[in-house]
Amino acid sequence: MKIWLTEHNWPWRPERYRFPTEQMLLTLFPGEKPEYPDTSYPSAPPESLTGEKGVVITLSRGAKLASMSVLVKLEDRCQSGVVRFPSEKLDEPDEAVYHTVSHALKQAFYKAGAALLGHELPWGSLTGVRPVKLPTRAMLAGKTAKQAEQELRKVYRVSAPRAALAVECARAALDVKRGLEPDGLALYIGVPFCPTRCAYCSFISADVKRSLALVEPYVEALCREIELAGSLLRERGLHIGSAYMGGGTPTTLSAEQLHRVLSAVENFLPMERCSEFTVEAGRPDTITADKLETLKAHGIHRISINPQTMEDGVLRAMGRAHTAAQIEEAMELAGRHFGGMVNMDLIAGLPTDTLEGFGRTLNRVLDMDPANITVHTLALKKGSRLIEEGKDLCAPEEVEAMLELAGQRLRGVSYAPYYLYRQKYMSGSFENVGWTKPGAVCAYNIVMMEELQTVLSLGAGGITKLVDPAERKIVRLNNPKYAKEYLESWDKIAAAKRAAADFQAELARRGGESKSPPR
């Protein structure tokens, strides 16, 4: 779709605003790709441009009010949206101007786009992956939960059910935030191997059969990084508050390899005040009694077993080499070591699945009685086999029905939503929601998703996030993406760990009122 960013009465450097423009284009018209013509917008009236598709974005400044106008044309139909704000806001510092203009652009684009589509989107004009941040900040600023919910509905046109859902999760985030300390940080350990690659997956993980030679040296390198991180944190008086081992599928490692990694965690990292440690056991075809015994012996108190579906035909379509019966066997085995402290992931909208099949999956998972259930919406990720093979997907209306069914069934048996996030290319523009039984919240998920605290990431593909809560700034330090690169990049890895430890130590020294993070 052609996009013209034009100027009228005020030089607003329109090229700066391609990112929010493309965010709204993706949200409203996910099949369209942006094009920026070299020429100015045609002088002919939009209605006369037969067969043309395009977006015209214009910012004009008056004496008192500035106007952001977005005109959207789809072949023979045309709609416009206008948002006005005080002209004096264009005289504020550059960062504030960018925020004001971007917000107005998105709102005006959404007005026009929703009118053309003939319906509202569940999350309205919100494009980010963390919608819960808005009500969380509103309540931190003194607004009531009801006021925060109304802001989502009126300002961003979020649907009533999604606005209420976001506020529920914001309450859970505030509960966790109250317990965080400036000398604490969260820990993520990545194991980028899986037994096979699922059709929907685009994560940085390798089929263990193809990368077997990398697994043992990877374990050794990871233990070395754990030792370095531990010495740096202990020297600076820091501690780990919550921890998570993911991937990939960590239980792709052998019991002995898991023992070595977790022994390094115990021996070197400051885990004395760690309130929870979760490990992804993900694929049931990687779960054995000796691995679960190893995890339990090292103090792991929650694992994830992620069936995604309990329909055997859907499992085969995803490329999973196990059956629903094996999931039930894995849960029975897990119950002997972890009781009910298990999270189970489900995905709404998988190819070949149906509303009836998804309902059967819910029933079987609820019969297994896990402490947490995360209901994902299928995300159409670049690099996944679903995209490459062009598989038929569920219609957005069916995905919405699946999510509604999940919410009704889970609330009916005392689960409550506690965190949520969204992704690009998500079917129907919906969300992923974590549900929990009373008293079983996974604090790490909230800390990580709402960016409440620094997350130190170890292993290939790990992204350390240095979080300055006072200034609401975040700096990311990336470990090398792939296992082979990781094994060859010790100097870079070590430098990032030192930067992270120094940052958090300074934050702790100031009681959480840090200056800007290092760049």
The domain that holds 62 is classified in CATH as: 3.30.160.100
User: Which one is predicted more confidently, 283 or 70?
Assistant: 70
CATH of the domain at 316: 3.30.750.200
User: Is the per-residue pLDDT at 407 higher than 90?
Assistant: yes
Q: What band does 355 get if pLDDT is binned at 50, 70 and 90?
A: very high
Same domain for 216 and 109, yes or no, is no
**Domain span including residue 144:** 133-175
Are 314 and 357 in contact, with CB atoms under 8 Å apart? Answer: yes
pLDDT confidence of residue 67: 96
CB pairs under 8 A, 24+ apart, for 160-169?
A: 161/122, 162/122, 162/123, 162/131, 162/431, 165/417, 165/420, 165/431, 165/433, 166/131, 166/132, 166/134, 166/135, 166/420, 167/135, 168/416, 168/417, 168/418, 169/132, 169/417, 169/418, 169/419, 169/420, 169/433
User: Is the per-residue pLDDT at 359 higher than 70?
Assistant: yes
Q: What band does 50 get if pLDDT is binned at 50, 70 and 90?
A: low
> 324-338 and 355-368 are packed helices; what angle lies between their axes, rounded to 10 degrees?
30
pLDDT confidence of residue 515: 44
Are 452 and 186 in contact, with CB atoms under 8 Å apart? Answer: no
- DSSP classification of residue 308: B
Same domain for 283 and 208, yes or no, is yes
Same domain for 167 and 156, yes or no, is yes
* 228 Cβ contact partners less than 8 Å away, ≥ 6 residues apart: 494, 497
User: Which one is predicted more confidently, 76 or 144?
Assistant: 144
**What is the model's pTM?**
0.90
- pLDDT tens profile 120-131: 999 999 999 999
Full strand arrangement of the beta sheet holding 65-74:
2-8, 53-61, 65-74, 77-86
The answer as to whether 226 is a domain residue is yes
Q: What are phi and psi of 17, to 5 degrees?
A: -105, 25
Mean pLDDT of the chain: 90
User: Is the per-residue pLDDT at 470 higher than 90?
Assistant: no
Q: What band does 375 get if pLDDT is binned at 50, 70 and 90?
A: very high
CA 231/CA 498 separation, integer angstroms: 10
- pLDDT tens profile 160-210: 999 999 999 999 999 999 999 999 999 999 999 987 655 555 455 555 566
pLDDT confidence of residue 89: 97
pLDDT confidence of residue 511: 82
Helix residue ranges, H only, 156-209 = 160-177
User: Is the per-residue pLDDT at 211 higher than 90?
Assistant: no
Same domain for 106 and 7, yes or no, is yes
The answer as to whether 104 is a domain residue is yes
User: Is the per-residue pLDDT at 385 higher than 90?
Assistant: no
Same domain for 140 and 79, yes or no, is no
Same domain for 350 and 404, yes or no, is yes
Q: Which of 387, 415, 439 marks a domain boundary?
A: 439
Pairing state of beta strands 276-282 and 302-305? parallel
CA 508/CA 506 separation, integer angstroms: 5
Same domain for 291 and 307, yes or no, is no
Helix residue ranges, H only, 458-489 = 483-487
User: Which one is predicted more confidently, 330 or 426?
Assistant: 330
pLDDT confidence of residue 381: 56
Alpha-carbon distance values, 504 to 233, 268, 324, 493 (Å): 9, 18, 44, 17
Q: Which of 141, 175, 209 marks a domain boundary?
A: 175
The answer as to whether 284 is a domain residue is yes
- pLDDT tens profile 1-27: 999 998 888 888 888 999 999 999 999
Q: What band does 429 get if pLDDT is binned at 50, 70 and 90?
A: confident
The answer as to whether 379 is a domain residue is yes
The answer as to whether 122 is a domain residue is no
Q: Which of 416, 439, 462 marks a domain boundary?
A: 439
pLDDT confidence of residue 425: 72
The answer as to whether 419 is a domain residue is yes
Same domain for 444 and 403, yes or no, is no
User: Which range is least confidently modeled, 117-126, 203-212, 318-327?
Assistant: 203-212
For residue 245 the two structure tokens come to 């081992």
Q: What band does 382 get if pLDDT is binned at 50, 70 and 90?
A: low
Same domain for 435 and 457, yes or no, is no
The answer as to whether 483 is a domain residue is yes
Task: Identify the CA nearest to 407 among candidates 428, 435, 379.
Answer: 435
The answer as to whether 124 is a domain residue is no
Same domain for 459 and 506, yes or no, is yes
CA 18/CA 6 separation, integer angstroms: 12
User: Is the per-residue pLDDT at 287 higher than 50?
Assistant: yes
pLDDT confidence of residue 19: 95
Same domain for 285 and 167, yes or no, is no
* 7 Cβ contact partners less than 8 Å away, ≥ 6 residues apart: 14, 58, 59
Give the amino acid at 77.
Answer: R
Alpha-carbon distance values, 38 to 7, 69, 233, 475, 485 (Å): 14, 20, 53, 35, 40
Residue linked to tokens 């059967």 = 360
Same domain for 365 and 421, yes or no, is yes
* Domains contained in the chain, number: 4
User: Is the per-residue pLDDT at 514 higher than 50?
Assistant: no
Q: Residues of 81-101 as b/e, b for ≥16 C-beta within 10 angstroms?
A: bebebebeebeeeeeebbebb
pLDDT confidence of residue 318: 83
Collapsed DSSP state (helix, strand, coil) of residue 375: strand
Give the amino acid at 286.
Answer: T
Pairing state of beta strands 432-436 and 372-377? antiparallel
For residue 410 the two structure tokens come to 């889970």
For residue 283 the two structure tokens come to 């694929």
